Structure 1
Amino acid sequence: MRVLIIEDEPLAAEKLIKLLFEYDQNISILETIPSVDTAVSWLKNNDLPDLILLDIHLADGLCFDIFKQVQVKCPVIFCTAYDQYALRAFQLHSIDYLLKPVQYAKLEQSLQKMKDMLPTGTSATLENPGVSENQINEIVDMIKSREPVSYKSRFMVRSGARIRAVKTEDIAYFHSHDKLNLLVTKDGHSYPVDYSLDELIQMLNPQIFFHVNRKLIIHIDSAKEIHPYFKGRLKLVLEPILDEEVIISSQKTPLFKTWLDQ
């Protein structure tokens, strides 16, 4: 089975690959793709895979923009942090969905469901391929209109042998580094957290936190300097300083400017 993974978080992608190989060592991972634009380009220029594992929130927007530009005729399994109540519609428009963090037993069930849906001896192509634009808009509207009960107000983190609470207003940013997701406070302390960035962004107030790229979520007060960069992108200087370049893509630049100017 040839699998395409569309996921903007390296740690989440690595976990999916590990679980797929646990299911079947003969599975071929064709590519790991982090963005809508890259996915559209790949799908237009390559043979369809047997299966796509697809994250909802990608580096440059919602994955549904892919379906608006390319007719996807192969099975799709969504991977998402949204709960079952919010995702009932996905059962109508895909093979299945997996809640993050993805568990092996659930992945196995989804793969078996895919096999049961496909005629024996045929390639992995559905008789009623693709997702209509009305269906896409229905799902997107559902996501945008869904208000969480509450946003997370604090995170419990480990500091040596102790556990302490960090209030969200004291957080400067979250970032991925050396296969760890780190919470960095405004006074410069770093603590590992067990959540992926995709899970974190669902817990945080979008008026205060912005998902800059696949490695970084920032607090609105942490953007110390903003500089124009090549090809419509922006370069950020954070406080406290992050020892790596922080670039906002041209696709996200308008959203970022609107977020800052709220």
Structure 2
Amino acid sequence: MKILIVEDEKPNADRLKRLLRELRPQAEVVAVLESIADTVEWLSANPCPDLMLMDVRLSDGLSFEILEREPIPCPIIFTTAYDEYAVRAFKHNSVDYLLKPVEKEELLAALNKVGSQQANVLDQSTLEGLLNFFQPKKFRKRFLLPYKDGYKSILVQDVIFFYSEWKITRAHLTDGNEEVIPLTMEELEQQLDPSIFFRANRQFILCVDAIGQVHNYFNGKLKVDVKNNPELEVIISREKAPMFKNWLNY
């Protein structure tokens, strides 16, 4: 089996390759592509793979754009950190949709569907999963943190930005204080409302209300000024810049 991975975040791509080696050691990952443009170019120059693992949101847009340009006959397993694209995914030869971080058991179940006569049919279990996807997703609203001999609660709405330094995650609050948060940036990214918080880079997650001026930076990057923090500059990579601008414009 020849498998094409379309994923713009290297840790997620590496995770998928590792899981595939464990679950389908005979399979060949023919390429790992990071954008719509790269994928369209690759597909025009190579035979269609037997299976595609495709992230929904790429640096230059939604991966559905690839499929809308030219239908792809092979089955597709969509991976995403967002659940609002589930129904749309099934319109594009989708075998399954998996939320990140992709779990080994879920990927195995999706791979087992490939090649079956019901791979592209909404059976009862798939339908139930799809309906569950459209239940309102609950995002984190507060943190319970140790304080003196007890605990205190910090509201997410009071956080301007999160940042990581020396593997310690801190929340910068509207009152100027900072609190250590016992979660990784990856865990926070999954738990925060993506309409309010954006993972700017490996070090920063920004609240939309904290963003001041946005400047063009060299080599297609963006520089973000954080309100009431003139000494702080947050850099958005060239790859993430289009997604960041779309997020601000939504």
Aligned mates of 2:194, 2:241 — CA distance in 1? 23
User: Greater CA radius of gyration, 1 or 2?
Assistant: 2
Give the partner amino acid of 2:53: L
Identical columns (%): 30
Matches within 5 A, 1:62-81: 62-81=62-81
Alpha-carbon distance change, 250 to 18 in structure 1, aligned in 2, over 3 angstroms:
closer
2:172 to 160, 185, 200: 185
What's the counterpart of residue 159 of structure 2? 171
TM-score, normalised with respect to structure 1: 0.64
What's the counterpart of residue 86 of structure 2? 87
2:236 to 206, 222, 246: 246
**Structure 1: which 5+ residue stretches go unaligned?**
119-125, 129-145
Offset at residue 181 of structure 1 (A): 10
Deviations 1:93-127 (A, max 9, x none): 41222233322222122212113249xxxxxxx9x
- Contact 1:197-1:214 within 8 A present in 2 as well: no
TM-score, normalised with respect to structure 2: 0.66
Runs of at least 4 residues of structure 1 off by over 6 A? 175-178, 240-244
Aligned mates of 1:174, 1:55 — CA distance in 2? 25
Aligned mates of 2:203, 2:58 — CA distance in 1? 11
Give the partner amino acid of 1:49: P
1:255 to 231, 234, 246: 246
Aligned mates of 1:165, 1:102 — CA distance in 2? 31
Offset at residue 5 of structure 1 (A): 1.7
Offset at residue 22 of structure 1 (A): 1.0
Give the partner amino acid of 1:258: N
Give the partner amino acid of 1:50: D
What's the counterpart of residue 33 of structure 1? 33
- Contact 2:8-2:59 within 8 A present in 1 as well: yes
SS in 2 for 1:40: helix
Give the partner amino acid of 2:86: L
Deviations 1:161-187 (A, max 9, x none): x98754222334457889x79564344
What's the counterpart of residue 204 of structure 1? 193
Work out which structure has the larger RCO, using CA pairs closer than 8 Å and 6 or more positions apart in sequence: 1
**Structure 2: which 5+ residue stretches go unaligned?**
121-133
Alpha-carbon distance change, 67 to 106 in structure 1, aligned in 2, over 3 angstroms:
same
Aligned mates of 2:184, 2:135 — CA distance in 1? 24
Give the partner amino acid of 2:30: L
Find out whether 1:235 has 2:236 as its counterpart: no
- Contact 1:57-1:198 within 8 A present in 2 as well: no
Offset at residue 33 of structure 1 (A): 2.9
Aligned mates of 1:95, 1:240 — CA distance in 2? 48
The alignment covers a number of residue pairs equal to: 228
Offset at residue 198 of structure 1 (A): 6.4
Give the partner amino acid of 1:228: N
Aligned mates of 1:190, 1:25 — CA distance in 2? 41
SS in 2 for 1:48: coil
Offset at residue 211 of structure 1 (A): 5.1
- Contact 2:204-2:234 within 8 A present in 1 as well: no
Alpha-carbon distance change, 228 to 46 in structure 1, aligned in 2, over 3 angstroms:
same
Offset at residue 23 of structure 1 (A): 0.6
Alpha-carbon distance change, 165 to 41 in structure 1, aligned in 2, over 3 angstroms:
farther
Deviations 1:129-154 (A, max 9, x none): xxxxxxxxxxxxxxxxx793654312
Alpha-carbon distance change, 225 to 90 in structure 1, aligned in 2, over 3 angstroms:
closer
Matches within 5 A, 1:89-238: 90-91=89-90, 93-117=93-117, 148=136, 151-155=139-143, 165-173=153-161, 182=169, 184-186=171-173, 187=177, 191=181, 192-193=183-184, 195=186, 199-200=190-191, 203-204=192-193, 206=195, 208-210=196-198, 212=200, 217-230=205-218, 234-238=222-226
Alpha-carbon distance change, 172 to 251 in structure 1, aligned in 2, over 3 angstroms:
same
